[in-house]
Amino acid sequence: MRIEKDFLGEMQISSDIYYGIQTMRSLENFPISGRSIESYPYLIKSMAYIKKAAALSNHRVEALDCHIKAAIVEAADEILAGKFENQFPVDIYQGGGGLSTNMNINEVIANRANEIITGKKGFTCVHPNEHVNMSQSTNDVLPSAMKMACYLYMEDLIKHLEQLEKALESKVNEFQSSIKLSRTCLQDALPMTFGQQFNAYLSFVTRQKKELQKVQQDCLKLLIGATAVGTSLGVAKGYIEAIYQYLPKVSGMPVTKIEDYFDGLQHADSYIKISGCLKGLCSGLSKMAGDFRLLASGPRAGLAEITIPSVQPGSSIMPGKINPCIPEMMMQVCFDIYGMDQTITIAVDRGELELNIWESIIMKNLFDAFSLLIASIPVFNHKCVQGIQINEAINQMHAESSYSISVVISKLFGYEMANKVVAEAFKTDATIKEIVIKNGLLSKEDAEGLLNPMNLVHVDV
């Protein structure tokens, strides 16, 4: 055991852990969710990048001794290498604007740095506030780390969207000549191809990927150097210039200084923009998954126009029933993310005066949204999209029997005549083609050409 003190008193701490008294107080105060900040490895990684770059910068401007700098850098590198499992236990729900998160990182690095220098834990040589947190505040470190983490999450998400793009592009090519009947207001509409339908899904995914790439660049504008309220009080002279040289090298991210520290501390609207992109992506993924559920409904009493892969039995009582459980999973992920977006919006709205202190709940919901999409999109892609098949005979029948192709009759003979043709077809349960041939409006040869559904899906205008 070791003894650590703060202005509230002293505490015994087990000698095998690297965090310290402030982390322990957080554990006592916030036994809330059972989930710790270790759930978000990109946050831990980004914090370590900042602490390493800060030590290098403080040493460069002669504010930090060489041996302390070297020990902090080594400890940060060990965090980046994943060597401190279970050493970041503070709950994701915490007060104080994320202070517990920052101090957990500071204490682990300080204890490990002391161990490197002296062979023992304890803050005899390297102090978590005085040295690891030098020239910093939680207020500028945490939001900067959050933005860097968002950047890394977006890297992963964009890669998965690119894989989904490839799958959809393959389906566009595969289904280019597969006819189907479109629907508007869930009613029969004009013929089109499955290639056209899947091309719309592809265009959506491509557009959302580009939106994410734009927002990703905004994540590179950081608050490091602002300290508590934007005045940079407590920063060593030359530190700000130095850290924006070191941090890009350390992290591999081309980060830059935000234009206005005061704006950056007071306003968290960048998180709404990020969350809005995720919500926008969900809107199309959910719609796509919902379309697949409808088109695959049946197999006897539904549309049954496509077949999606069967991945598990769909009923505990009805043998042979198969549910569209992968699309249903994707839709539920999207529903959850809509709720997270609402929480983020409220938390951003509730910033007061010089600081938004709700970053812990913003972080929790934003990172959870990223994690859900990063986990679910590959499953949706591999276990649903890539295995979709077209039921050609059903789709051909639907396209040929639709009354909507009376648009051709309207164009040739007028709207009123087309109305009469549709009414007769409906009354006699015949097709439009059969009625126009019967009534001598078109010869059989002309009707076969003009009313062929495949001739109506690429119209020259």
Taking the C-alpha atoms of residue 184 and residue 191, their distance in angstroms, rounded to an integer, is 12
Rg of the chain over CA atoms, in angstroms?
A: 30
How many beta carbons lie within 10 A of that of residue 81, not counting itself? 9
Cis-peptide, bond into residue 248, ω within 30° of zero: no
Instruction: Look at residue 8 and give its three-state secondary structure.
Output: coil
Written as six digits, the tokens of 379 are: 């499953």
Amino acid identity at 222: L
Residue of 177, 310, 315, 443 marked active site: 315
Phi and psi at residue 317, to the nearest 5°: -125, -25
Q: What is the dihedral of CA 348, 351, 357, 358, to 10 degrees?
A: -30
Pairs from 281-284 (Cβ < 8 Å, separation ≥ 24) = 281/161, 281/208, 281/212, 281/373, 282/333, 282/334, 282/337, 282/338, 282/373, 283/334, 284/201, 284/204, 284/205, 284/208
Degrees, nearest 5: CA angle 352-355-359: 100
- The residues facing 184 across adjacent strands are 187
- 315 part of the active site: yes
Taking the C-alpha atoms of residue 51 and residue 41, their distance in angstroms, rounded to an integer, is 15
Written as six digits, the tokens of 118 are: 């002296």
Q: Which CA distances in Å does 60 have to 236, 271, 337, 361, 428?
A: 10, 33, 44, 35, 89
As a three-state string, the secondary structure of 389-403 is EECHHHHHHHHHHCH
- The residues facing 307 across adjacent strands are 389
Catalytic sites, residue numbers: 315
